[in-house]
């Protein structure tokens, strides 16, 4: 797979991970020039037509999810028999590896991770996408500590029926009871899985262990988890209550939306314990203990809206009503002693007090006998909320406050007290909090990162409250390799505190292919090479065929050279003239041989014969390769010569080499 080009665009590079369904590679988007993660489906799933159809549907849906806590899906496709998803390339490690390496996390970190996952799920659920595979392996922890949820694209197709795949033990540790039973799933199934993720993050281990997926899944359905504090005494009761509510077997007993869970975790992180206790007040199986507020232990109390907070869980995992009962009995004995003294001191006062108490109790019980569900005001305007509160006459409009929110639109209800769906007495006052939108962040000046090392860039950005993030590498002729060549947010501009400044490291001077200019004129070749980024040097060589044209280049055309380097072109020039040796007095044949040896050709002048003696030549200087025309004269033989074909016998009638006679004139 490495080296393959998918979809004519995505270059597959090294493998960075393998799972039960797919292999993930680091790759390069050749069109946009950015690093991406390429997830390719394993062949046994890619060859299943039903899976392929679901894969396409889910990948397209996942690409529409926009959240800082969801990994971005850029593209998907099929190349041959390979299905692939193109995703945002993340740096960091998955949460599972982090827990294995560092063990249990502190409570605040667990709540922070949980709140970010809840926000990611809230976005997905609004798009009717249920993740179905929330587990630490699918949570990427980035270098800045924030998380990204992965695998929205194939989760639904992958985990429709866990019981059909006994090999997926890692997934079985996190699935909801209804998921193992093949029931219809809703947002609360992801909330259950998130509860187990927080459980593992807080304790360092999953709540249910087993030898195979089926045994673990059965425990998900039938067994209650040990309270996290039993495994890690550092887990505080409030966070424990949140986790255990997420993990209720009955979906109706969990938080009903990811947004509701996010609000509770946000309250926990902000130290608003009363609101946390109110949200987790009644857990199934402990309602009786909660309802009897006279038996609450010290430190417990009534949450807003007259609902008792969740009873504290002991380190042995058992509720402790016995101690509360004993303390209540002691208090009752003390009250009896005081009443006896009061009777002795003044019976009349006691009677009056008793009557007053009875009257008060009758009033309280009478008013509390009728309760109504609190309307859900989330996302309503202040006017809409007031109408919803007062329209039936059961509740009263209370105080309206404003607060900043990064997740709720400005002007809409972001919080309410009491919370939605709680049963409250008639006449209860409902307070609301209206979102002011995202809190404006402080503006800072962006530092100039050019020529810095990545470490220097990180320090410079951190100093002013920004985050430096590495982007793709780029070629740069002026910046040393390994140093920053450019940044996406302009230097010295203003940016909100917390903004990510992406920088690009130089790969050094770029290499350019030398264009073919052989045969071009000197001027044309020089222009072409300079436009390609080269300097040009010209040398000349004599050439009778390519005068004024480029004969060759150095380095050769088609090879690569550093941009800005010099390319030498060789241009042909007319050959220069040289002296022609004298051949006068020689026979034509000898004269021709001598001229050829000196780079010339011999030719007969008009009226001359090849059997004669050279009496004149046309040039004394000429360009090599030129033809020198020779004038010859045939001399008469004094004693007569033989016929034209006979050998010469006279001293003057024959040729100088004595091989051929001349015809007598």
Binding site members: 39
Q: Which residues contact 411 (CB under 8 A, 6 or more apart)?
A: 381, 382, 434, 435
Q: What is the CA radius of gyration of the chain?
A: 47
Q: How far is residue 323's CA from residue 296's CA, in Å, rounded to a whole number?
A: 9
Clarify whether 133 is annotated catalytic. yes
Record the tokens describing residue 515, joined without a space. 């264009």
Backbone angles phi, psi at 254, to 5 degrees: -90, 175
Instruction: Determine whether 83 is exposed, middle or buried from the number of CB atoms within 10 Å of its CB (0-12, 13-18, 19+).
Output: buried
Q: Which residues belong to the annotated binding site for ATP?
A: 39
Answer yes or no: are the C-beta atoms of 202 and 144 closer than 8 Å: no
What b/e string do you get for 397-434 counting C-beta neighbours within 10 Å, with b at 16 or more? beeeeeeebebbeeebbbbbbbbeebebbeebebebbb
What b/e string do you get for 136-174 counting C-beta neighbours within 10 Å, with b at 16 or more? bbbbbbeeeeebbbbbbbbbbbbbeebeeeeebbbbbbb
Element at 111 (helix H, strand E): helix 107-126
Q: Which residues contact 558 (CB under 8 A, 6 or more apart)?
A: 513, 514, 516
Max CA distance (Å), the chain: 189
Q: How far is residue 469's CA from residue 447's CA, in Å, rounded to a whole number?
A: 14
β-pairing, 577-579 vs 621-623, is: antiparallel
Backbone angles phi, psi at 505, to 5 degrees: -90, 140
Nearest C-alpha neighbor of 191 from the set 202, 207, 178, 206 = 178
Q: Which of the residues 133, 190, 267, 415 is marked catalytic?
A: 133
Answer yes or no: are the C-beta atoms of 83 and 7 closer than 8 Å: no
Strands of the 566-573 sheet, one edge to the other: 535-542, 566-573, 550-554
Which residue's structure tokens are 């309410």?
416
Q: Which residues contact 16 (CB under 8 A, 6 or more apart)?
A: 24, 25, 26, 37
Nearest C-alpha neighbor of 446 from the set 415, 418, 469, 429 = 469
Q: What single string gives the DSSP state of each residue in 587-624?
A: BHHHHHHHHHHTT-EEEEPTT--TTSEEEEES-SEEET
Q: How far is residue 376's CA from residue 403's CA, in Å, rounded to a whole number?
A: 18
Backbone angles phi, psi at 58, to 5 degrees: -70, -40
Going by the DSSP 8-state scheme, the letter that residue 549 receives in this structure is: B
Q: How far is residue 91's CA from residue 200's CA, in Å, rounded to a whole number?
A: 23
Q: How far is residue 488's CA from residue 641's CA, in Å, rounded to a whole number?
A: 102
Catalytic residues: 133
């Amino acid at each position: 797979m490495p080296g393959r080009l998918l979809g004519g665009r995505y270059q597959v590079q090294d493998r960075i991970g393998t799972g039960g369904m797919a292999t993930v590679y680091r790759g390069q988007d050749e069109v946009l020039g950015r690093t991406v993660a390429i997830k390719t489906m394993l062949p046994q799933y890619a060859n299943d037509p039903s899976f392929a159809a679901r894969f396409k549907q889910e990948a397209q849906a996942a690409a529409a999810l926009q959240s800082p806590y969801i990994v971005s899906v850029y593209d998907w496709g099929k190349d041959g028999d390979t299905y692939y998803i193109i995703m945002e390339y993340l740096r960091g490690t998955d949460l599972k590896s982090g827990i294995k390496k560092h063990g249990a996390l502190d409570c605040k970190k667990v709540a922070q991770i949980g709140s970010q996952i809840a926000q990611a799920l809230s976005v997905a659920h609004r798009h009717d996408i249920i993740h179905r595979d929330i587990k630490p392996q699918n949570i990427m922890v980035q270098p800045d500590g924030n998380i990204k949820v992965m695998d929205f694209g194939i989760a639904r197709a992958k985990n429709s029926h866990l019981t059909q795949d006994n090999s997926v033990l890692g997934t079985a540790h996190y699935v909801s009871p209804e998921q193992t039973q093949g029931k219809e799933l809703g947002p609360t199934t992801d909330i259950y899985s998130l509860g187990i993720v927080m459980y593992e993050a807080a304790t360092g281990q999953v709540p249910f262990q087993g030898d195979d997926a089926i045994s673990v899944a059965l425990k998900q359905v039938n067994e209650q988890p040990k309270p996290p504090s039993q495994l890690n005494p550092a887990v505080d009761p409030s966070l424990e209550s949140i986790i255990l509510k997420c993990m209720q077997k009955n979906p109706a007993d969990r938080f009903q939306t990811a947004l509701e869970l996010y609000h509770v975790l946000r309250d926990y992180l902000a130290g608003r314990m009363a609101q946390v206790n109110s949200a987790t007040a009644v857990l199934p199986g402990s309602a009786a203990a909660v309802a009897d507020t006279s038996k609450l232990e010290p430190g417990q109390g009534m949450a807003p809206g007259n609902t008792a907070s969740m009873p504290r869980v002991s380190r042995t995992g058992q509720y402790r009503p016995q101690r509360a009962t004993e303390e209540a009995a002691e208090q009752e004995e003390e009250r009896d002693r005081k009443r006896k003294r009061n009777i002795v001191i003044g019976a009349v006062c006691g009677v009056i007090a008793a009557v007053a108490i009875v009257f008060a109790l009758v009033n309280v019980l009478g008013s509390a006998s009728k309760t109504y569900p609190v309307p859900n005001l989330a996302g309503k305007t202040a006017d809409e909320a007031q109408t919803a509160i007062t329209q039936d006459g059961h509740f009263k409009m209370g105080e309206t406050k404003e607060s900043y929110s990064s997740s709720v639109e400005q002007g809409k209800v972001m919080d309410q007290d009491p919370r939605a769906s709680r049963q409250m007495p008639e006449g209860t006052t409902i307070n609301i909090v209206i979102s002011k939108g995202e809190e404006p962040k402080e503006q800072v000046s962006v530092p100039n990162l050019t020529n810095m090392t990545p470490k220097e860039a990180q320090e410079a950005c951190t100093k002013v409250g920004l985050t430096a993030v590495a982007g793709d590498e780029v070629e740069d002729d002026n910046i040393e390799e390994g140093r920053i060549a450019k940044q996406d947010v302009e230097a010295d501009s203003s940016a909100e505190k917390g903004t990510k400044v992406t920088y690009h490291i130089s790969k050094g001077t770029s290499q350019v292919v030398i264009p073919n200019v052989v045969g071009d004129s000197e001027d044309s070749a020089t222009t072409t090479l300079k436009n390609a980024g080269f300097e040009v040097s010209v040398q000349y060589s004599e050439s009778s065929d390519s005068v004024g044209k480029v004969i060759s280049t150095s380095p050769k055309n088609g090879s690569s050279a550093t941009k800005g380097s010099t390319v030498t072109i060789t241009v042909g020039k007319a050959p220069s003239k040289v002296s022609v040796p004298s051949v006068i007095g020689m026979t034509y044949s000898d004269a021709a041989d001598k001229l050829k040896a000196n780079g010339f050709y011999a030719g007969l002048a008009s009226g001359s014969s090849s059997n004669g003696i050279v009496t004149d030549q046309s040039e004394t200087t000429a360009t090599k390769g030129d033809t020198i025309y020779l004038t010859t004269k045939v001399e008469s033989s004094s004693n007569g010569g033989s016929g034209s074909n006979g050998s010469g016998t006279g001293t003057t009638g024959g040729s100088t080499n004595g091989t051929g006679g001349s015809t007598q004139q």
